[in-house]
């Protein structure tokens, strides 16, 4: 499959048929699946060129029950122990099933109206976390997804976001990153960037530490108040902005020298990353609550290594980052 990293989870001819017919009930999910497949391919190609090493491709199929209540699968693409990236993963998943009781409760807490104890769903998305080796190259995370509850009371929504988690503060990096995301948002609605930046700042917050996970970006969920076509178009703009927002930062810092002390600080910051993902992240929780979930793919976001050091005393350069993490910055206004 030259256009994709592997054969689509849904048959390629079936996808093309529905994606070319706006009247089809599967038009939006088929367009979404084809898009995340192509985005995965383009990003993996760029990262592999930088790394000088091809991604390992793992196409997996979810166990299917006899009544069809579970099914689907995904494609996990990953590089580990590289020269540039300690761990870089770009995943897609296309699954369907029945929501667990925990997932139903989680969605109801967000104001979703779900009827009955057995709630079917279809979900698909792309997610990526890139943990570089060089402490001066920031970690990036992005996730874009479509969720649908079919049937008489059909519901659908889009969600996702992109955010940056550096080890050391570089204001120019932050401005470039946020400006690129703002440009993608402004092409659809001038209110999107300030609204979704604020949401990102509030979401990626480690309450027990009193600090943000990183320098933020954009984050949104439950996007269902515009047409599905408009929402998908916006999501594509966000997805297409990931490479131009991030790849220049990798190339700028790839050969920057660093010390063992700076690596140790990187490890401590990765510990904070792990804390957020395991304690607060909704996507991680939803995955772990889902029956027959693929744990390897869900926990792909975690770094290979991290560190928790008792009573660490950061130096002046490290404190510069910590001060910014205590209060969000309007990077596009600096």
- Catalytically active residues are 141
Identify the three-state secondary structure at position 162. strand
Name residue, tokens 């320098």: 215
SS3 content of the chain, % helix, strand, coil (to 5): 45, 25, 35
CA distances from 262 to 13, 47, 135 (A): 50, 24, 7
CA distances from 94 to 9, 13, 61, 121, 140 (A): 7, 16, 10, 11, 23
Backbone angles phi, psi at 141, to 5 degrees: -130, 135
**Helices (runs of H) and strands (runs of E) counted in the chain:** 11, 9
Measure CA 250 to chain center. Answer: 18
> 212 exposed, middle or buried (CB, 10 Å; 0-12, 13-18, 19+)?
buried
Output the DSSP codes for 274-325: HHHHHHT-HHHHHHHHSTT--HHHHGGGS-S-----TT----HHHHHHHHHH
Q: DSSP H helical segments within the chain, as ranges?
A: 12-19, 27-51, 101-108, 171-186, 192-203, 228-240, 242-253, 260-279, 282-289, 295-298, 316-326
């Amino acid at each position: 499959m030259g256009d994709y990293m592997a054969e689509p989870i849904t048959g390629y001819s079936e996808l093309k048929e529905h994606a070319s017919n706006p009247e089809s009930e599967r038009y939006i999910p088929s367009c979404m699946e084809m898009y995340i497949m192509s985005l995965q391919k383009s990003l993996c190609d760029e990262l592999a060129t930088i790394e000088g090493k091809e991604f390992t491709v793992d196409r997996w199929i979810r166990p299917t029950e006899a009544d069809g209540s579970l099914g689907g699968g995904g494609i996990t693409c990953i590089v580990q122990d590289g020269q540039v990236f300690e761990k870089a993963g770009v995943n897609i998943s296309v699954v369907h099933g029945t929501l667990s009781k925990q997932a139903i409760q989680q969605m109801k807490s967000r104001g979703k109206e779900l009827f009955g104890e057995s709630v079917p769903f279809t979900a698909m998305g792309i997610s990526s976390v890139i943990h570089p080796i060089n402490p001066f190259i920031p970690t990036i995370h992005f996730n874009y997804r479509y969720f649908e509850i079919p049937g008489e009371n059909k519901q659908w929504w889009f969600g996702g976001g992109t955010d940056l988690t550096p080890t050391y503060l570089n204001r120019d990096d932050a401005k470039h990153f946020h400006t690129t995301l703002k440009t993608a948002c402004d092409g659809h609605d001038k209110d999107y960037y300030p609204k979704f930046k604020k949401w990102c700042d509030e979401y990626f917050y480690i309450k027990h530490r009193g600090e943000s996970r990183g320098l933020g970006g954009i984050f949104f969920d439950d996007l269902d108040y515009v047409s599905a076509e408009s929402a998908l178009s916006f999501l594509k703009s966000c997805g297409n902005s990931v490479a131009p927002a991030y790849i220049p930062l990798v190339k700028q810092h790839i050969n920057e020298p660093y010390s063992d002390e700076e690596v140790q600080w990187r490890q401590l910051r990765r510990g904070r990353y792990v804390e957020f993902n395991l304690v607060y992240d909704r996507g991680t929780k939803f995955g772990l609550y889902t029956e027959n979930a693929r744990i390897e793919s869900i926990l792909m976001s975690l770094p290979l290594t991290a560190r928790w050091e008792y009573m660490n005393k950061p130096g002046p350069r490290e404190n510069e980052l910590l001060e910014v993490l205590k209060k969000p910055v309007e990077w596009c206004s600096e």
